[in-house]
Amino acid sequence: MLNGKRILLVIGGGIAAFKSLELIRLIRKSGGSVTPVLTRAAQEFVTPLSASALAADKVYTDLFDLTDEAEMGHIELSRSADLVVVCPATADFIAKMAGGHADDLASTLLMATDTPVMIAPAMNVRMWLHPANQRNIATLKADGIARTGPDEGDMACGEFGPGRLAEPQDILDAILARLANGPLSGKHIILTSGPTHEPIDPVRYIANRSSGAQGAALASALVRLGARVSFITGPATVPPPPGVAVTRVETADQMLNAVQAVLPADAAIFAAAVADWHVTDASTGKIKKDKTGKPPALKLAENPDILATVAKMKNRPGLVIGFAAETDDVLANATAKRKRKGCDWIVANDVSPETGIMGGDENAVTVIDDNGAETWPRAAKHDVARRLAGRIAEALK
């Protein structure tokens, strides 16, 4: 939650400006307050009145509004916020920021502020990729300005590619990651997610159907409660949420190394569907078909068990949580797995194809700990994540 945190929201002039209104609503719903500042161009896309109505606050538009200067000077306006968010940040506005211009209220505020700044860029794909814009983005990064997005996808101009404004919910998550003072503030949580890929040769690999959806939802729920999340992910189809420190890996071996590199932690959650085996003699060249029609024999060896390894370490996190993907005897198998792996909790789920859970949007889990098993009703993976994050926050109190 944002619990009274103040956001100064600079709305730039682009077709995505209307989405900043949704962002205002989400920030306020999270308990934060918003003071909107509209550039002249932004007023072509959204009216000051709608921004003001949603923010329930005065909207600032012009540097030379003397009444405003009497009420609150631009220096004070820029410094009374906990975070300045520029959304959408257009190519032109980004260029102004990178060049240190101060020729209107919005750019002057950004020059005068000593508060952290975050931008959410939105522009045509060619503009985003243009060397001048990329140079400006690199300058802002070097200046310590945080960035969310842009996303890749269909754009209002009919083209496809990077440049689309990040979803308002994702921008809110990034804001929460910086400002939230929830029950997990100050806690470091490691989270593994997605499948692993174990190479057979340079073009083929052993994999599984994990999309990484449950791991990504859980990361986002933990961030919302204020946790610092180290998110270690295999090649998942669902992207990592904003606000987490991402390490991308491919194999189980790499995942174990990445986890060990970010220890110590208050909790570690192993939501990854790690491949159980790797090919011992993975070929460095592409394996060709045998002329006799004989298929190649793959020699497999067991992968390190990341969860069991971490659970047995001396500097083990205080709370270690595993997932158990089962198709038969879910409860019995998961209970045995918890013991065998030495984790504190195990979150069991039935991944039989008829449940549609693996790769789907919903999950039905049973959480097993020292006190027994607790079965939760089937729900959206995001809801399961929120409930689990709440239970983790209770346990880490």
Give catalytic residue positions.
157
| Residue 244, CA atoms < 13 Å, CB-side half-sphere | 29
Using the minimum distance from each CB to ligand CTP, give the nearer residue, 26 or 306. Answer: 306
- Determine, following the binding rule CB under 6 A, whether residue 270 of this chain makes contact with ligand CTP: yes
Q: Which stretch binds ligand CTP (CB under 6 A): 54-62, 280-288, 320-328, 355-363?
A: 320-328
Q: Which stretch binds ligand CTP (CB under 6 A): 25-33, 52-60, 107-115, 303-311?
A: 303-311
CB 38 within 8 A of CB 20: no
- Determine, following the binding rule CB under 6 A, whether residue 93 of this chain makes contact with ligand CTP: no
What DSSP assignment string belongs to 194-208?
A: SB--EEEETTEEE--
- Determine, following the binding rule CB under 6 A, whether residue 345 of this chain makes contact with ligand CTP: no
Residues 320 and 221: their CA atoms lie apart, in Å, by 17
- Determine, following the binding rule CB under 6 A, whether residue 252 of this chain makes contact with ligand CTP: yes
* Smallest separation (angstroms) from ligand CTP to the CB of 347: 8
- Determine, following the binding rule CB under 6 A, whether residue 78 of this chain makes contact with ligand CTP: no
- Determine, following the binding rule CB under 6 A, whether residue 250 of this chain makes contact with ligand CTP: no
**Residue from 277, 271, 295 nearest 199 by CA:** 277
- Determine, following the binding rule CB under 6 A, whether residue 325 of this chain makes contact with ligand CTP: yes
Residues 38 and 105: their CA atoms lie apart, in Å, by 9
Residues 309 and 315: their CA atoms lie apart, in Å, by 11
- Determine, following the binding rule CB under 6 A, whether residue 276 of this chain makes contact with ligand CTP: yes
* Smallest separation (angstroms) from ligand CTP to the CB of 79: 45
| Residue 272, CA atoms < 13 Å, CB-side half-sphere | 35
Using the minimum distance from each CB to ligand CTP, give the nearer residue, 109 or 249. Answer: 249
Please pick, from the candidates 59, 172, 229, 324, the single residue that binds ligand CTP as defined by CB under 6 A.
Answer: 324
Partners of 248 in the β-ladder: 233
* Smallest separation (angstroms) from ligand CTP to the CB of 1: 29
Using the minimum distance from each CB to ligand CTP, give the nearer residue, 162 or 304. Answer: 304
Which SS3 state, helix, strand or coil, does residue 59 take? coil
Q: Which helix (H) or strand (E) holds 154?
A: strand 151-154
Binding mask 198-237 toward ligand CTP (x if CB under 6 A, else -) reads: ----------------------------------------
Sheet with 83-89, side-by-side order of all strands: 33-38, 6-11, 83-89, 117-121, 146-147
Other CB atoms within 10 Å distance of the CB of residue 79 = 15
- Residues of the shown chain interacting with ligand CTP in the complex, contacts defined by CB under 6 A: 192, 252, 270, 272, 274, 276, 303, 305-307, 322-325, 337
